[in-house]
Structure 1
Amino acid sequence: MTAPLDPGALTPDQARALFRAGLRVPTSGWCAGWTQANLIAVPREYAFDLLLFAQRNPKPCPVLDVTEPGETASPLFAGDLRTDLPGYVVYEHGVPVAEVGDVTAYWREDLVSFLIGCSFTFEDALREAGVSVRHIEQNRNVPMYRTNRMCRRAGEFGGPLVVSMRPVPAAQVADAVRVTSRYPSVHGAPVHVGDPVELGIDDLSAPDFGDPVEIRVDEIPVFWACGVTPQAAVMASRPKLAIGHAPGHMAITDARDSRYLVP
């Protein structure tokens, strides 16, 4: 199955139907104006610790919604959380054991799902402000990196901050900061601008998740907190089971981006 020519024109329902039918693609640039979210689902016994982890680390883990145990939909996401994302990663004791397009076979009635804000939500606003988004231009997944910054631990969960990176012309960095700071529920302003070594990132051409992108001579790497951080915490903390979205393969919700825009 191939992606539609204009995925940005789709509604969330239309996109979720394609993913349910087996299309597996990163979702940056899909469903313009509709909010995208990271997914992490854990057994109920870990849910409070994960919620506390998110509360203590709101920059990478801004919670948009939390389900009751076993629920496969929410007011924010009218689809099926088990089938309507384009890709999932299943973890057992912190180890990825499956990367699939449907997690029905792994689902349990005690799983609590968290929808975490995603920086894809502010990419339309960046482009409207004249700031290019390189991974969309190159039809690639956004590059994501583990950093040397540790999140504040909460119960069972601890681990490194994960960041996404977008190269921005030096003259437009202030614009990128201004635009994204108005979306605090989807990571907001960057956490770092410039030298990646300060984050413990040695090679921008080798992201931990996603794909490398071109960085031009006049551009500066700009880093935003990333909602893959809970999955890094799962890998570091090793709960019995967790299910997350495949990085870059998001839950497309029924909320508008404007819902998360602040004056």
Structure 2
Amino acid sequence: MIAGTKVTSTQAASVRAEIRRGRWSGHTSGLAPDLVQGNVVILPARAANDFLRYCQRNPKPCPLLAVSEPGEFSLAALGSDIDIRSDVPRYRVWRQGELESEPTDIADLWRDDLVTFVIGCSFSFEQALLDDGIVLRHVSEGKNVAMYRTCIATVPAGDFSGPLVVSMRPLRAADAIRAVQITSRFPNVHGAPIHLGDPALIGIERLAAPDYGDPVEVLADELPVFWACGVTPQAALLKARPEICITHAPGAMLITDLSNRRLASF
């Protein structure tokens, strides 16, 4: 399985099967460009209600695609055969806000009180940008998108609060304007950018040193364009310090059966 390979919804189950067998543990940017990919947060039920309210109060970085019942590891609304315990290429396991491990399978950690949240991912609007002829450097270079913590605070809920995390794509001015138009059609996967231009205005000091993902060059005739990012909940989880939390590793998403086109609002 090679990054950049187009995958149809009818092939999604076989892609997840490859991930389930441990044959793919890297980032999924460009891997299944026609399909919806999701950020994953798994929490004990006693923390889930506060986290649900956190997502509802911060829909740009945390657009909810699905929420499971406690102990449920299948997500029928997103795919007929999904097993959230094994279908993410790489997980992060956090205890009391501290990163414990990055396994490729969490079956041995599964509990009957765990609730899964799947949050929309900007990878879903990237294909629309590519289809319009907009070059995305991290895709063409086979990299994970660059992500940064900002000085913009999210709206707290219970123990959950923290900074907005953004993803960045360098674009020429005309492409940036077009990207605003295109991504505004996808509110369920972060929608339009939250900032264009000077990164210092949102608290980013060095574009060459992203907090997550891989750095990409911003050329002299380009603007850095920033979208709200689904890694934002991981920053909130560091502050909330739940007893246990399981997330995707940045860039290693859950691939669903849903077509990106179905998420367009118009």
Residue number in structure 2 paired with 1:4? 2
Residue number in structure 1 paired with 2:187? 184
1:171 to 169, 174, 180: 174
Aligned-pair CA distance for 1:5: 6.6
Quick one: which amino acid aligns to residue 71 of structure 2?
Answer: G
**Identical-pair percentage:** 49
Residue number in structure 2 paired with 1:245? 248
Contact between 2:4 and 2:32, CA under 8 Å: does it hold in 1? Answer: no
Aligned-pair CA distance for 1:9: 3.2
Q: Distance in 1 between matches of 2:15 and 2:175?
A: 32
Quick one: which amino acid aligns to residue 59 of structure 2?
Answer: P
Secondary structure of the 1:244 match is: strand
Query: C-alpha offsets along residues 124-168 of structure 1, whole Å, 9 cap, x if unaligned?
Result: 100111111111111111111111111110012111111000001
2:234 to 221, 231, 235: 231
Aligned-pair CA distance for 1:255: 1.1
Q: Distance in 2 between matches of 1:257 and 1:27?
A: 15
Structure 1: state its 5+ residue gaps: none
Quick one: which amino acid aligns to residue 107 of structure 1?
Answer: W
Q: Distance in 2 between matches of 1:142 and 1:8?
A: 18
RMSD: 1.1
Aligned-pair CA distance for 1:6: 5.0
Task: Report the number of matched residues.
Answer: 261
What does 1:1-263 align with in structure 2 at a 5 Å threshold? Answer: 3-4=1-2, 6-9=4-7, 11-22=11-22, 23-75=24-76, 76-77=78-79, 78-263=81-266
Query: C-alpha offsets along residues 2-43 of structure 1, whole Å, 9 cap, x if unaligned?
Result: x43752236221221111121111111122321011000100
Secondary structure of the 2:6 match is: helix
Runs of 4+ in 1 over 6 A off after TM superposition: none
Quick one: which amino acid aligns to residue 68 of structure 1?
Answer: E
Q: Distance in 2 between matches of 1:5 and 1:95?
A: 30
Quick one: which amino acid aligns to residue 144 of structure 1?
Answer: M
Quick one: which amino acid aligns to residue 130 of structure 1?
Answer: G
Contact between 1:27 and 1:248, CA under 8 Å: does it hold in 2? Answer: yes
Secondary structure of the 1:73 match is: coil
TM-score by length of structure 1 reads 0.96
Quick one: which amino acid aligns to residue 233 of structure 2?
Answer: P
Contact between 1:166 and 1:222, CA under 8 Å: does it hold in 2? Answer: yes
Secondary structure of the 1:7 match is: coil
Quick one: which amino acid aligns to residue 179 of structure 1?
Answer: I
Q: Distance in 1 between matches of 2:242 and 2:174?
A: 44
Q: Distance in 2 between matches of 1:189 and 1:41?
A: 27
